[in-house]
Amino acid sequence: MRRSPRETAESARRISRRGLILGGAQLGFVGLLAGRMNYMQVEQADTFRLLAEENRINIRLIPPARGRIVDRNGRIIAENEPTYRITMVREDAGDVQKVIGRLSMLVELDEDDLNRALAEMQRTAPFFPVTVADRVSWEDISRVAVNAPALPGVTPEVGLSRIYPMNDLFAHVAGYVGPVSERDLSRYEDPPPLLRIPRFQVGKVGVEAKAEEMLRGQAGAKRVEVNAVGRVMRELDRREGEAGGDVQLTVDAELQDFVKARLGEESASVVVMDLEKGDLLAIASAPSYDPNEFVRGISVPDYASLRDNDRRPLASKTVQDAYPPGSTFKMVTALAAMDAGLVAPDETVYCPGHMEVGGRKFHCWKRAGHGHMNLEQSLRESCDVYYYDLALKVGIENIAKMSRRLGLGTDYDIPMSAVSSGLIPDKAWKKRERGSDWVIGDTVNASIGQGFVLTSPLHLAVMTARLATGRSITPRLIKSVDGIETPWRGGSDMGLNDSHLKQIARAMYAVSNSRRGTAYGSRIIADTMRMAGKTGTSQVRNITAAERARGVTRNDDLPWERRDHALFVNFAPFDNPTIAVAVVVEHGGGGSTAAAPIARDVTLQALYGGLPPLDAYPSKDRSRIRALHDRLAREKRAREAEGNDRA
Amino acid sequence: MSYLEYNTKTAPTGWRKVLHLNWPLVVLLTAVASVGFLMLYSVAGGSFSPWAEPQMKRYALGLAIMFLVAMVPIWFWRNMAFVAYLVGLALLLAVEFFGSVGMGAQRWIDLGFMRLQPSELMKISMVMMLAAYYDWLPLKKTSRPLWVLLPIVLILLPTGLVISQPDLGTAILLLTAGGLMMFLAGVHWAYFATVIAGGAAGIWAVFQSRGTDWQLLKDYQFRRIDTFLDPSSDPLGAGYHITQAKIAMGSGGWTGRGFMQGTQSRLNFLPEKHTDFIFNTLAEEFGFVGGISLLVLYVLVLVFCIFAAIQNKDRFSSLLILGIGLTFFLFFAVNMSMVMGLAPVVGVPLPLVSYGGSAMLVLMVAFGLVQSAHIHRHR
Which residues from B are below 8 Å from A56, CB to CB?
263-264, 267, 269
pLDDT in the model for residue A32 = 95
Q: Work out the mean pLDDT of chain B and round it to a whole number.
A: 86
Burial of B291 (C-beta count, 10 Å sphere; 0-12/13-18/19+): buried
Task: For residue A38, give the chain B residue with the closest CA.
Answer: B288
CA distance A110 to chain B (A): 38
- Contact (CB<8Å) B251/A52: yes
DSSP-derived 3-state class of residue B276: coil
φ and ψ at residue B269, rounded to 5 degrees: -70, -30
User: Which of B267, B268, B315 has the CB atom closest to A11's CB atom?
Assistant: B315
Please answer yes or no on whether B291 and A41 come within 8 Å at the CB atom: yes
Query: Under an 8 A CB cutoff, do A51 and B247 touch?
Result: yes
Q: Compare all CA atoms of chain A with the CA of B264 and give the residue at the minimum distance.
A: A52
Please list every residue in chain B whose beta carbon sits closer than 8 Å to the beta carbon of residue A40. Answer: 246, 249-250, 340
Kindly list the strands in the beta sheet with A57-62, ordered across the sheet, starting from the edge strand earlier in the chain. Answer: A57-62, A220-226, A232-239
Nearest CB to B250: which of A22, A47, A233? A47
Closest CA to B297 of B23, B21, B29, B62: B29
Judged by CB atoms closer than 8 Å, whether chains meet at B269 and A228 is answered as yes
HEC per residue, B279-306: HHHHHHHHHHHHHHHHHHHHHHHHHHHH
Number of domains in chain B: 1
**pLDDT value at position B10?**
64
Contact assignment for A19 to B310 by CB distance below 8 Å:
yes
In this prediction, residue B100 carries a pLDDT of: 63
What's chain B's length in residues?
A: 379
Q: What ipTM was assigned to the predicted interfaces of this complex?
A: 0.90
The number of C-alpha atoms within 13 Å of A421 and in the hemisphere containing its C-beta is: 7
Which chain B positions have a beta carbon within 8 Å of A224's beta carbon? none
Contacts of B139 in chain A (CB under 8 A): 3, 7, 10-11, 14
Judged by CB atoms closer than 8 Å, whether chains meet at B269 and A226 is answered as: no
Contact A48 B247 (CB under 8 A): yes
pLDDT tens digits, one per residue of B56-73: 999 999 999 999 999 999
Measured in whole angstroms, the distance separating CA A175 from the mean position of its chain's CA atoms is 5
What's the pLDDT score for residue A519? 93
B107 Cα to chain A: minimum distance (Å): 29
CB A15 to CB B246 under 8 A? no
Residue A409 Cα distances to A97, A323, A402, A443, angstroms? 63, 12, 11, 16
Is residue A569 predicted with pLDDT exceeding 80?
A: yes
**pLDDT per residue over B15-56, tens digit each?**
788 888 889 999 999 999 999 999 999 988 888 988 999 999
Amino acid A552: pLDDT: 55
Each residue's pLDDT tens digit, B90-137:
988 888 877 666 555 556 676 655 677 888 889 999 999 999 999 999
Q: Closest by alpha carbon to A510, among A604, A373, A393?
A: A373
Q: Looking at residue B4, what is its pLDDT?
A: 41
Higher pLDDT, A537 or B343: A537
Q: How far is CA A279 from CA A339, A462, B167, in A?
A: 28, 11, 83
Reference B58, options B366, B275, B355; nearest CA is B355
Domain range enclosing B150: 3-375
| Residue in chain B lying closest to A7 (CA) | B139
- Nearest Cα residue to A382 out of A562, A541, A514: A514
**Separation in Å, CA of B135 to nearest CA in chain A:** 7
* Residue in A33, A49, A225 nearest the CB of B251: A49
**Per residue in B151-176, is it b (16+ CB within 10 Å) or e — as a string?**
beebbebbbebbbebbbbbbbbbbbb
pLDDT tens, position by position, A404-449 = 999 999 988 889 988 999 999 999 999 999 999 999 999 999 999 9
Per-residue pLDDT, A375: 92
Angle between helices B168-185 and B145-163 (to 10 degrees): 160
User: What positions of A carry a catalytic annotation?
Assistant: 327
Between A546 and B57, residue with greater pLDDT:
B57
pLDDT for res A187: 83
Task: Give the N- to C-terminal CA distance of chain A in Å, as an integer.
Answer: 105
Angle between helices B357-375 and B23-43 (to 10 degrees): 170
Identify from B141, B251, B311 which residue to disrupt to test chain A contact, counting A C-beta atoms within 10 A and taking the largest count.
Answer: B251
In B, minimum Cα distance to A232 occurs at B267
Pair A561, A310: CB distance under 8 Å: yes
Q: Which amino acid is at A552?
A: V
Tell me A594's DSSP state.
I
CB atoms within 10 A of CB A629: 17
Chain A, nearest residue to B236 by Cα: A228
Type of residue numbered A605? Q
